[in-house]
Structure 1
Amino acid sequence: MNEPRTLDEIEAAMALNVPFGDWRYINDRSVLFYTRRLELLVRRLPEVEPLLAAWNAASPEARYPVLGDTVLRATLNAALGGLENGVQDLPLERYRAVFEDARRLLAEGRREAPTERGASRRLRVGDAAHHPWVWCDEREEDVWAQGFRQLFDQEKSRSLLRTPDEASLGVLRGAVALLEDVLPQVSRSVLDHAYLIGVTDVLNRRDWDNPKRRFSYDSFTTFTIPGALFLSMGMLRNPYKAAESLLHESLHLKLHDVQHTHAILKRGYNSDRSPVIRSLWNRWHPEATNEWPACRSLAAMHVYVHLALYAERLARDPERIQAVHGPLNGYDPVLQKRRSLERAYFLGGALRRECWEELGIGGQRMVDWMMGLLNELGAGHLPQDGNAHLFLDLYEREAKDFNVLLEGLREMPEAVSAERGQGLRRAVSEMLRDELGVAVRIAATLGDATASASLREQAERISTSRLSEVTDAELPRFLNSTRGTVASLLRAVPAERLVGMREVQSEKPLSELVREMVVTSGTQLNDMAAARFQPRHAAPPG
């Protein structure tokens, strides 16, 4: 019988696997991919041939920053795609300017990213060649800057690019140092695919100094902006969270590069026609659906597998890590590991059941490879249908939506706000009593008489009149406190017991009681949100 692999050995498997991990192999394949695209472009745009010649003659060290440049990649893709598809009015002069500038850099052997050259300051997260550079918004508005801004604006991200201040840049550099400390092999591998970091902020520049401003996202990457990842300023407050986001988005960029040359998805794959997997830990809303097609589910699984190892490493030696990198400040590696393992294992099983035919042979082998890693990291004991803890993640995260409800009430006229506030407190009271009632039933089934009695007493104390004495500032804390009591009870129960034990009265598995509770509460929160926007005195239906 083989001995279990150490964490170092598991990390090496993640970082050096061919074809899914080894950055050298993936980069070699990317060079072949883009060389082929340049050759195809030359057939349609012969004046690009000098760029191809300089490309082939350049050393790997000189070619690396040019190959990875976001604007060059995007321009090459746009030019080739537009010419092959007969698109009219292509900006060929801008394309030619980009290609000629890239040719000159390669011919001169200058080891720098073309888009970075125009920045008024060189901002980098480290000194190594594979360390990404950071966008500086104070810069020369050359074709490279114009190209990058156009790519960013097309995303309609409801945010602005900005130059990070020294404190934020320090957090970002600290995040890289943290990754290289706890995951030296993985960080070397993934950062090789992240060429550029764009830091973003809210649309209203006057709010940039407001520490309570709300961001529309934490971070993102997209196929249409190759080699670049974007982090909101909200992510640059805690190096542990910043490191997680940097790892997360760099892994997406790595997978993008793998997809260029391997059959990860089936031929003719269309995300709009793919079966979907519901990410149970996310709440559905129109701008961020929790129903993911095969491509997004695979990408998320890829991230969660690596985040599980990141959290495991933090949890193994927290004293030493905090002595070097500062306090965790609320970042809980034990909780993050559990969440990452459960989510990755859930997605892997769902991909096999629901989306297997949507994957190419490379994608199927990738899922099998990652499921093996998950088993080594401790996910092998999880039941495939043990999704109760995933619903609990959603249950706890919904407090954010509740804060949004309160913000909306404060923006209303005082009289309307008071009326809606009473209605909201009544709805919250009913919802929390129902949730505590479910927790009482689960505790009784588990034979925990003490917890059952305590929960029943807490439910009896909740009333609309009591909540009317709670201020708007205290209401979220009250909700979180009550939900925390319920979640603490349920999280302490192993997933296999929630699946295997049934309530005598209803004959339902305890996991089903958890699911019903969270779904019902989510519906109630949606109803509260809808009521907030209703006219004060609605007209009768016509």
Structure 2
Amino acid sequence: MTQATSTASPGALPVDELDELLAKHPFGDSDYVTSRLHACYRRRLESIGDRLPLAREVLDALDRADAQTRYRIVGDTVFRCAVQYLHVQIEDEIPYGIPSEHCREILRRAIRNLDAGVPGLLGPELSDHLGTASHYGWVWRDDGPETVVTDAFRDIVAAHYGLTLHTPGDDELAMVAKAVRLLEEVLPKVTRSVLSHTHLLAVFAPVGQWEGTRSSSEYKVSGTIFLNQRTLCNPWALAEHLLHESLHQQLYDLRAGHTLLVPDFARADRPLVHSLWNMPDSTRGNHWDVHRALAAYHVYVYLALFTRAARESDGDRQYTKRYGPIEMTGPRTALARARYLREQIGREQYRRELGPAGHRTVDWLDTVLDVVDPDPQVEESFVHLLLDRFWREASMIRSMASDDTIDAEVRSLIPGLLADEVQCARSALTAIGHDPTSFDQAVETSEAQEPFERFASVRKVIAQTLLDACPRRYELSPARDVDEGVRDMVERSSAVLMKALDR
């Protein structure tokens, strides 16, 4: 959906002040978060030290090492996984992760590198970095030599993801460096802090089930972020995804060293947050547990600041001249999603899923959001979030127009679905006292188009007309009856599309 490019609301703090405040807060301060992460891994090693003397040797080597070497070893994904796997294997006496002997060899490698001042396990076997500063991690190359460390990383990725790793070419590496420079220019202190939690960037090929995934991170593979090869084409989009996934790494490190969640937060009957802007699927992937909702809230608060800062500072086109047109999530979209997630996480059933540090994290993000956006939307409004999904579904359908694999039955659903949506939108306009004449005329002008193209263009008319009709920001009627009617229409249409396309 089209997003306004206006700058900050009156009363919002200057970007440079916010940049510094976020980087200085304990939960945004990379030095503090990293120190607590290291304490966590020390505890894990100590807990198995009596049964695994090698763990004691690692602790001694960590004590002897300089700060930078220690930072890179503990930040290494393979090291973290080896410690965690051994912890489970010894404590629970069950097979877990890669074999015990492989884990032990990784710890022996870690001791040698700590004593030799070699920063990391995977990194020293790679040649490409995210940036030139010492806090920037490496870029994975899948064409490198096979060692116990690289083999372990491939095994970990295969077990948790099953994706195909890609070795970036020179142009793609240059694009990564360009995106990092862009982040440094827009939010220098936040970028320094957040990206220090990303020790490795791995690029995956857009094939199979991963074709439509732009980026990914996982708590059990912390230290590494994964980006789709297709994101390495535009510096703005790439910068957004680098920031997005690195923020997840920051939160993972915070979670490792603090009681962010209650112990059983992942139980089967946990409460789930419905992310209204995401398309439904057969796995109910748009329903998130509280950790995922908190991670998304964390990202959208920072992303709102990044997009605001980029647009505010581009009055003389200093960024667009060097990096091209701004192509990323708009500030209104980021703020709207952040506000919605704040409201959901604030509900009692979700607050109960947070530990002490989780409550403090939410309180901190709430404060930051109020400063970034002192003029928020109407409380608990939701039409705009549904229409975001509504428009993206239309774009997806438009992209299928030339796909011969889409069967006739699916194509036959489109006209009836669109007729229902037009009628619902017209009823909503009438209910709030709007003359639907111009809406009807806009719909009629689309009648001669190819069916999928018409579906997309009419949906755009519906979405924009309903948003423009909101007398208050993103709310159609104070009673919410009209809003609920729009919700029913969008959910009904999404269900039809999901069932038709998920065959």
TM-score normalized by structure 2? Answer: 0.90
1:191 aligns to 2:195 (yes or no) = yes
Q: CA, structure 1 residues 101+378, in 2 after alignment: closer, same or farther (shift >3 Å)? A: same
Q: What is the root-mean-square deviation in Å for CA atoms of aligned residues?
A: 2.5
User: 1:462 Cα shift?
Assistant: 6.5
Counterpart Cα distance in 2 of 1:516 and 1:358:
29
Query: Per-residue deviation at 1:446?
Result: 5.2
1:152 is matched with: 157
Question: Larger Cα Rg: Structure 1 or Structure 2?
Answer: 1
User: Residue 511 of structure 1: SS of its match in structure 2?
Assistant: helix
Cα distance in 1 between the residues matched to 2:328 and 2:190: 21
Q: Which residue of 1 aligns with 2:495?
A: 523
SS at match of 2:238: helix
Residue 10 in structure 1 maps to residue 21 in structure 2 = no
Relative to structure 1, the CA distance from residue 65 to residue 377 in structure 2 (aligned partners, 3 Å threshold; closer, same or farther) is: same
Q: Which residue number corresponds to residue 537 of structure 1? A: none
CA distance in 2, matches of 1:221, 1:125: 17
Deviations 1:196-247 (A, max 9, x none): 000000458xxxxxxxx98141111112212000001011111111111111
Partner of 1:325: 323
Q: Report the counterpart of residue 108 of structure 2 in structure 1.
A: 100
CA 1:187–1:386 in structure 2 vs 1: closer, same or farther (change >3 Å)?
same
How many residues are paired up?
489
Contact 1:174 1:239 in 2 (8 A): yes
- What residue in structure 2 maps to residue 210 of structure 1? none
C-alpha distance in 2, partners of 1:362/1:345? 20
Aligned residue number for residue 55 of structure 1: 62
Alignment of 1:257-296 (within 5 A): 257-287=253-283, 289-296=285-292
User: Shift of residue 517 of structure 1?
Assistant: 2.5
**Which residue of the other structure, out of 358, 363, 369, is the alignment partner of 1:368?**
363
Q: 1:85 aligns with which of 83, 87, 92?
A: 92
Q: 3-state SS of the aligned residue for 1:358?
A: coil
Counterparts of 1:372 and 1:482, CA distance in 2: 39
Q: How does 1:408-423 map to 2 (within 5 A)?
A: 410-411=404-405, 417=407, 420=408, 423=409
Report what 1:540 is aligned to: none
Contact 1:386 1:496 in 2 (8 A): no
Q: What do the CA deviations read for 1:396-419 (whole angstroms, capped 9, x no partner)?
A: 111354257657x6137xxxx5xx
Counterparts of 1:528-539 in structure 2 under 5 Å? 528-529=500-501
Q: Given the alignment, which residue of 66, 75, 84 partners 1:68? A: 75
The aligned amino acid for 2:14 is T
Matches within 5 A, 1:60-459: 60-87=67-94, 91-110=99-118, 112-119=119-126, 122-157=127-162, 159-203=163-207, 215-287=211-283, 289-318=285-314, 319-328=317-326, 331=327, 336-353=330-347, 354-378=349-373, 380-402=375-397, 410-411=404-405, 417=407, 420=408, 423-445=409-431, 447-449=433-435, 452-459=436-443
Aligned mates of 1:240, 1:15 — CA distance in 2: 22
| Secondary structure of 2:16's aligned partner | helix
CA distance in 2, matches of 1:10, 1:257: 22
Q: Distance in 2 between matches of 1:240 and 1:497?
A: 28
Note the C-alpha offset of 1:362: 1.3
Letter of the 1:514 counterpart: V
CA distance in 2, matches of 1:148, 1:378: 41
Provide the C-alpha distance between the structure 2 equivalents of 1:498 and 1:22, rounded to a whole number of angstroms: 35
1:474-499, Cα deviation, whole Å (9 max, x unpaired): x4432222111122222334573653
SS of the residue corresponding to residue 282 of structure 2 reads coil
Gaps of 5+ in 1: 205-212, 534-542
Gaps of 5+ in 2: 1-10
Secondary structure of 2:202's match?
strand
Letter in 1 for 2:200: L
8 A contact 2:89–2:100 mirrored in 1: no
- Aligned equivalents of 1:445, 1:498: Cα separation in 2: 16
| Secondary structure of the corresponding residue to residue 263 of structure 2 | coil
Deviates more, 1:61-70 or 1:142-151: 61-70
Aligned-partner Cα distance in 2 for 1:57–1:508: 63
TM-score for the superposition, normalised by structure 1: 0.84
Alignment CA distance shift 1:16-1:495 (3 Å): farther
Pairwise CA distance, 1:379: 5.7
Q: Structure 1 CA distance, aligned partners of 2:206 and 2:165? A: 9
Give the distance between the partners of 1:365 and 1:297, measured in 2 at CA.
Answer: 15
Check whether the contact 1:118–1:142 (CA below 8 A) recurs between aligned residues. Answer: no
CA–CA distance in 1 between the matches of 2:53 and 2:28? 36
- Residue 384 of structure 2 aligns with an amino acid whose one-letter code is H
**How far did residue 42 of structure 1 move?**
2.1
Matched residue SS, 2:221: coil
- Equivalent position amino acid for 2:296 in 1: A
Matched with 2:461 is: 485
| TM-aligned CA deviation for residue 129 of structure 1 | 1.0
Paired residue type of 2:486: V
Question: Would the alpha carbon gap of residues 462 and 6 (structure 1) be closer, same or farther in structure 2, given more than 3 Å must change?
Answer: closer
Shift of 1:367: 1.1
Tell me the secondary structure at the aligned position of residue 268 of structure 1: coil
Q: Distance in 2 between matches of 1:310 and 1:271?
A: 35
Instruction: State the distance in 2 between where 1:63 and 1:398 align.
Output: 47
Amino acid at match of 1:501: S
Is the contact between residue 215 and residue 234 of structure 1 (CA under 8 Å) also seen in structure 2? no
Q: Could you say if the C-alpha distance between residues 88 and 186 of structure 1 is closer, same or farther in structure 2, counting changes exceeding 3 Å?
A: closer
Question: For the Cα contact (< 8 Å) 2:165–2:202, is it kept in 1?
Answer: yes
Change (3 A) 1:160 1:356: same
- State the identity as a percent: 30
Residue aligned with 1:289, SS: coil
Q: Which amino acid aligns with 2:204?
A: T
CA contact (8 A) 1:151 1:224 kept: no
Shift in Å, 1:96 = 2.4
| Contact 1:276-1:294 within 8 A present in 2 as well | yes
Counterpart contact for 2:446–2:454, Cα < 8 Å: no
- Counterpart AA for 2:334: S
One-letter amino acid matched to 2:108: E
Amino acid at match of 1:384: E
Q: What SS does the aligned partner of 1:136 have?
A: coil
1: CA distance, partners of 2:342 / 2:237: 25
AA partner of residue 440 (structure 1): R
